[in-house]
Structures are given as C-alpha cells and as structure tokens.
C-alpha cells in the first residue's frame, strides 16, 4: 500500500489589505497573518495647512473606508480591513513620491547628511468602526555624493517611495541612524498594526480567522 502525502488546507486570509504593496503584505506575513489585497486609489493631495501626522492618518482612514465600501458594493465576506499611508517630512514639509529623476535627486540631496522623520498612519476598519494609530521614526542619512545619488536613481528604486528612498532596498547603505520603527519606515509599523488588529481578535499567533476552509 502506497502512502499518499497531501498538503494541509490553506488557512483562510484573516483580513483585507487596502494596498498593492508587496512590502506591506510581507510584513503582515512576518507576524503570521495572510491577507487579500484590495488596492484603493484615493486623492492623496495635502490639504491647506495640514500637518504630516494629520495627513497620513487621514489618508490611512480614507483608504480603509474606501476599501470597506468596496467590500459592501461587491458583497464580499466582511473581515477586518487594514490600510496604511507613509510620508517623509523634513523642515515640516511633506515629501511624497518623486515624479521624475530631477525631483528624486532634489529630495535625496535635501535629506543628505541630516535627519528627517518618517510617519506612517495605520487604520483598521470593520463596519462603522475605524481605529487609527501613528508611527513616527527619525532617520539620519549619510552625506550623499552626487555619484551616490545618481547611482541610486539609476537603480529605479526611488520612484515609488516617499522621500525617494526605500530602507529595505539599496538605500539601506545610506542609513546612518534610525530611532523608531524599521517596519514603520518600510510602510507598516508592526507594533501599532498588531495592537489595532488585536482589537478585532487578530493577533498573528492565535487569530480568530486561522481556521481552515471547509
């Protein structure tokens, strides 16, 4: 008699993630949570006199609420929905994603040899309830030569990153000091995220949605 080895059934995704970011999905997997990604396009314009903390919290909540409306409109199973938004700020100014090489070069030159803040707002929506949390980290970059900046821009890495750099990529060699959350600088602060998800019964270790599909 031949023994047949079968794979165990996959666990049902515990939550939705209102983002197309592979980094955020990988960070959730790091704490034991699978997700279904639902990218949400919203207006990310900065409002008049809006400070960076209010900005990222507003966008995170807006993405979460838009995602929840998408669930309702498409009659999808209702599970907690997570969203996040990250920005870089220096001298009180918000630096978004660079539109082109010239803008990326200007941002990196401005951040060179000094510290700046990276803020990530996180929101979890379920029904009419939306909870938010904020992560603030201070990052110091090494002095960057023109050759270093040009080489980094040539890699193509800066163009989908707030502040024109990604700490998890080649720009890791530029980081002289980090005070705060590494995962928050990546785009999803795991401490704050875990606390919000725990309010919905999801803790990554024994979450309520880790049972198997029948």
Task: Indicate which residues carry an active-site annotation.
Answer: 85
> 133-170: b or e for each residue (b if 16 or more CB lie within 10 Å)?
bbbbbebebeebeeebbeebbeeebbeebbbbbbbbee
In 12-114, where do the E strands start and end?
15-17, 35-37, 81-90, 93-95
| Residue 33 to residue 51: CA distance in whole angstroms | 32
DSSP conformational letter for 55: H
Residue labelled with tokens 């997570």: 82
DSSP category for residue 37: E
Q: Kindly report the CA angle at 52 between 51 and 56, in degrees rounded to 5?
A: 120
What lies within 8 Å, CB to CB, of 132 at 6+ separation is 57, 60, 61, 121, 122, 123, 196
Whether 132 contacts 122, CB under 8 Å: yes
CB-CB neighbours of 106 under 10 Å: 14
Alpha-carbon gap, residue 153 to 151, rounded angstroms: 5
């Amino acid at each position: 008699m031949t023994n047949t080895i079968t794979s165990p059934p996959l666990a049902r995704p515990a939550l939705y993630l209102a983002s197309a970011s592979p980094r955020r999905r990988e960070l959730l997997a790091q704490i034991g949570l699978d997700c279904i990604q639902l990218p949400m396009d919203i207006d990310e314009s900065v409002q008049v006199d809006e400070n960076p903390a209010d900005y990222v919290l507003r966008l995170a909540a807006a993405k979460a609420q838009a995602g929840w409306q998408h669930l309702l409109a498409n009659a999808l199973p209702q599970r907690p929905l997570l969203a996040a938004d990250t920005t870089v700020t220096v001298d009180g100014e918000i630096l978004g994603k660079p539109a082109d090489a010239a803008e990326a070069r200007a941002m990196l030159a401005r951040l060179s040899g000094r510290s700046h803040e990276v803020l990530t707002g996180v929101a979890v929506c379920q029904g009419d309830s939306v909870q938010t949390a904020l992560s603030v980290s201070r990052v110091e970059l090494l002095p960057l030569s023109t050759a270093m900046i040009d080489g980094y821009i040539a890699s193509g890495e800066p163009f989908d990153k707030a502040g024109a750099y990604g700490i998890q990529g080649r720009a890791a060699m530029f980081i002289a000091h980090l005070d705060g959350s590494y995962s928050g600088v990546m785009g999803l602060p795991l401490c704050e995220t875990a606390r919000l998800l725990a309010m919905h019964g999801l803790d990554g270790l024994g979450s309520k949605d880790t049972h198997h599909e029948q």
